[in-house]
Amino acid sequence: MNNCKFFDFHTHKINTPPGEGIVCLPQEVILFLEEWKPQANGFYAAGIHPWWTAHENFDLALHLQGVEHLLEFPEVVQLGECGFDRLQGASIGFQTEVFERQIALSEKYQKPVTIHCVRAFDVLLAEKKHLQPKQQWTIHGFRGKPMLAKQLLDAGFNISFGINRNEESWNITPSNRRHEESDGQ
Ligand SMILES: [Zn+2]
């Protein structure tokens, strides 16, 4: 990776030029509704977004099967985005089940995790303590204040920042533990 060039740690733009970012795959790909093959030298992430868990016909087994299938591709370098959202999604109890099942896959396939977390950092920190994962967990799109950033860094998380970042949080995050992202659609 060239230091001068922006590497997009988290984007949904499926046509991101290979090597310029990590493309988070859409639900259609996870559920095998679309035939998918990675682009040469591309980087991808596959996971169950917490928002999907609230859909009427959400099928956990089917989603997990899709994520596991995708993790077998070497080009799929992360599990994600997954996590917790108190504003959108199923109950936190069910979101926890969905999250823990995915963490088991991350550990099995030795792939790091990209995390979506909205108003649920208490749950996320408790999960980290409880599960003691070996794989790196990175919060994406972090906008929080430095106090929360410090708490997350102390717990072993890395942090990815978008354009709406808190500058002080960015500054206190060591450069080898922070990323930049567009979260582009
Ligand atoms: Zn995203």
CA of 86 to the centre of ligand 1 (A): 16
Domain boundaries, the chain: 23-110
Q: Is 159 helix (H, G, I), strand (E, B) or coil?
A: strand
CA of 183 to the centre of ligand 1 (A): 5
Mean pLDDT across the chain, nearest whole number? 96
Q: How many residues does the chain have?
A: 185
**To the nearest whole percent, how much of the chain has pLDDT over 90?**
94
CA of 11 to the centre of ligand 1 (A): 6
Please identify every residue whose CB atom is under 5 Å from ligand 1, which is an ion.
183
How many alpha carbons lie under 13 Å from residue 94 in its C-beta half-sphere? 16
CA 47 from centre of chain? 7
CA of 9 to the centre of ligand 1 (A): 10
Residue 2: which pLDDT band, with cuts at 50, 70 and 90? Answer: very low
